[in-house]
Amino acid sequence: MKRNQRRLSLQSVRSGVSLLEVMVAIGVTSIGLLGVLALIPLAGAQVRHGQVLERSIVIGESALSEMRTRGWLNAENWVNSTGQAPINLAIGTAPKAFCLDPRGVADGLSGQYFPTNASVNMDRITVWNRRVGTTPPNSTADLTRLPSKELADFLCQSQDDLSVESTTRDRTLPAYQLWAPQDTQTSPTASPTRRQFSGSMSWMATIVPHGDSLYRVSVAVFSQRVPGEEVTATVNFLSGGIAGGDVELQFATASDELKIAEGSWVFLSGRMQVSQNSYQPVFHWYRVLMSDRDPTDKTKFYATLAGPDWDPRAQNVQATIIPGTVNVYERIMPLELSNLWGTPN
């Protein structure tokens, strides 16, 4: 009889859940919930990154079409940062390379070359506003014919990223579109007439000789670019430059803010000797697959690049990093001429 009572009492105790088991279950559940919560901002960042990449595809393709439509591939419409025009496509017998950067020129970047601090660079040019005059500008007095900062931003910034705002009183209401008054209206109570856009996405183009009569037009698309924020570094190829490969980047100074993110882009510039006193410039964009800072030297980075083969004969190779570079789109094409029977300058 006593044995049966003891067996019944043990069974009744075992049928319940102890406090320790409850605490362990709560801990496991909390860890799982924290893991899910940690994934939410990461997923949001990935979604935003995907939206930027998707938008850059449209901007890159439309920029190439817009350059052809507006005649920006015609050297007679080019003006350098000092107001000189028309631009000569060749220096001696070697063709030149150009950086079509209306925003950079209008922002007053120091110097007239891109990259600014590189030993081998290209002419930084803009486009001439034909609505102002009938002849191309040929002196610094004609700088008023160049696009203003507002016009350069309008031409080289995307207007697809419309500005929206959500109400703070009722979170259940959808976000609403922001509208702005006309440029001539100064009253804050004026009736809005156009949609606002953030203008976070912009572009510029590098135009590099490719063969005898063709050029490689590369459109670099940026997110939140600030003209002038160019950082240069010397390059040491660790794998021969095949398809980019592994490189060592040596910067002049160390900075904790300096970062080379995976998926970003770098611009390599160098020159190749073709004769005793003649050099041919070499320029290429490369995508960063992997990067890591040297643990013992804060001025040195190691990166794996993806892109075209780099000519090992090139000298004075430097890398230029423009923060916010999202994508680069390239097209091999001839430059436009004023007439079908003309020849480049």
Residue 37: inside a domain, yes or no? no
268: pLDDT strictly greater than 90:
yes
Residue 81: inside a domain, yes or no? yes
Mean pLDDT throughout 127-155? 63
Q: Which residue has the higher pLDDT, 276 or 324?
A: 324
Please give the model's pTM, rounded to 2 decimal places.
Answer: 0.76
Residue 80: inside a domain, yes or no? yes
Residue 335: count other Cβ atoms within 10 Å of its Cβ. Answer: 18
Residue 231: inside a domain, yes or no? yes
134: pLDDT strictly greater than 50:
no
Mean pLDDT throughout 243-269? 85
Asked whether the beta carbons of 323 and 265 are under 8 A apart, the reply is no
Mean pLDDT throughout 58-67? 85
pLDDT number for residue 220: 92
Confidence at 285, pLDDT banded by 50, 70, 90: very high
Residue 116: inside a domain, yes or no? yes
pLDDT number for residue 295: 85
The region of weakest confidence among 51-55, 70-74, 327-331 is 51-55
98: pLDDT strictly greater than 50:
yes
182: pLDDT strictly greater than 60:
no
pLDDT number for residue 81: 73
Which pair of tokens denotes residue 5? 């009572």
311: pLDDT strictly greater than 60:
yes
Q: Which domain holds residue 87?
A: 47-159+200-333
Residues 13, 15: Cα–Cα separation, whole Å: 6
- Strand 325-333 versus strand 78-80 pairing type: unpaired
Percent of the chain residues past pLDDT 70, beyond the cut = 73
Query: Which are the contacts of 166, defined by CB distance < 8 A and separation ≥ 6?
Result: 173, 174, 175, 176
Mean pLDDT throughout 284-300? 89
Mean pLDDT highest for which of 62-71, 73-82, 163-172, 183-192?
Answer: 62-71
Asked whether the beta carbons of 65 and 330 are under 8 A apart, the reply is no
296: left (phi over 0), alpha (psi -120 to 50) or beta: alpha
Residues 102, 172: Cα–Cα separation, whole Å: 43
Query: What 8-state DSSP symbol labels residue 9?
Result: H
Residue 73: inside a domain, yes or no? yes
Residue 140: inside a domain, yes or no? yes
pLDDT number for residue 154: 80
Confidence at 189, pLDDT banded by 50, 70, 90: low
Residues 241, 308: Cα–Cα separation, whole Å: 9
Provide the H-helix boundaries in the chain: 2-14, 19-70, 102-106, 149-156
Question: How many domains are contained in the chain?
Answer: 1
Q: For the stretch 269-286, what's the b/e string if a residue is b when 16 or more beta carbons lie within 10 angstroms of its beta carbon?
A: bbbbeeeeeebbbbbbbb
343: pLDDT strictly greater than 50:
no
Q: Which residue has the higher pLDDT, 144 or 175?
A: 175
Largest Cα span, the chain: 118
Confidence at 341, pLDDT banded by 50, 70, 90: very low
Indicate the SS3 state at residue 88.
coil
Mean pLDDT throughout 330-336? 86
Residue 31: inside a domain, yes or no? no
Residue 140: count other Cβ atoms within 10 Å of its Cβ. Answer: 9
- Virtual CA dihedral for 21, 22, 26, 28, nearest 10 degrees? 20
Confidence at 342, pLDDT banded by 50, 70, 90: very low
